[in-house]
Structure 1
């Protein structure tokens, strides 16, 4: 019975919040706390979409490169196997060791490229948040709020205090896709930094 009552209270609160949000689409609720979905703020912004396209393009390019390398190494390995009958055991062992060393070096190089792509996502997020921080602060102040909570960590909240959509619109207008925004000082020397291209 207690569980049913709790469920009814939650449903009633949700319905009330839904009505409040619908009534206050024009006039947001004055609140000392606002909520923000950080993931959606980044992924749905022009900056986040540009970053996602760039990362996808690099991932596709690396996958094609890996397939080409794999094909070339397969041909080279087959050629070495075919020559084995005409080689002394020592000569074959030396050639095989050299081939293994080459494969290891290539694997390390390609793994480093993959890690760099992985760092690119985090670097873009850091640049985005650093550039967007003044905009976020301005919106928070204009709402008279003193705190911002991540909406994904909140069980229930009125939609009227969520500022994600407002921020996406403001950030898109003021920062665009972020191509011309300089990286913060801490990221200037990061090998995953996305300045340029």
Structure 2
């Protein structure tokens, strides 16, 4: 499990709707234009294999985070804006991707694309992923596991990676989050750093 390396100062802009994590506006910066917020809500763009916007996942803040999706939109793949970077970390959804990025060292964050399907892995997410694997050197599977240790998202991604020619197989690392997932890990790291 990664550890937080950049302890947030109290002067950072805390997102009001996500104070229980706590999540800062700076935590969204690695995702560029793929994320926007008003402090209480986060909008995460989903794009298809061609890079076209298919809709936005809407994350409503508060003690119990809730989700919706733009009417008429289609879930595909949320990911860091821009070209695919050498390291790809896949999580279950945008909040988990944000928290995973916030936990990692900034040098690692700069060379990583964080991506998530949101609401479970879909054929559209597989298609979007398959079209972007050329520049990837390492895939990190950061999906939460079911109680029996299985993971449908991991299985779906492994099936996509199996389609690659044998000479271009990628290094794959499993880094599942602990109990409570990436969000709980960031909550714990931030609370301990703020108490110090």
Name the TM-score, length of structure 2 as normaliser. Answer: 0.24
TM-score scaled by length of structure 1: 0.24
Q: Determine which structure has more spread, i.e. the larger CA radius of gyration.
A: 1
> Which one has a larger percent helix, Structure 1 or Structure 2?
1
- Relative to total residues, which structure has the larger strand share, 1 or 2? 2
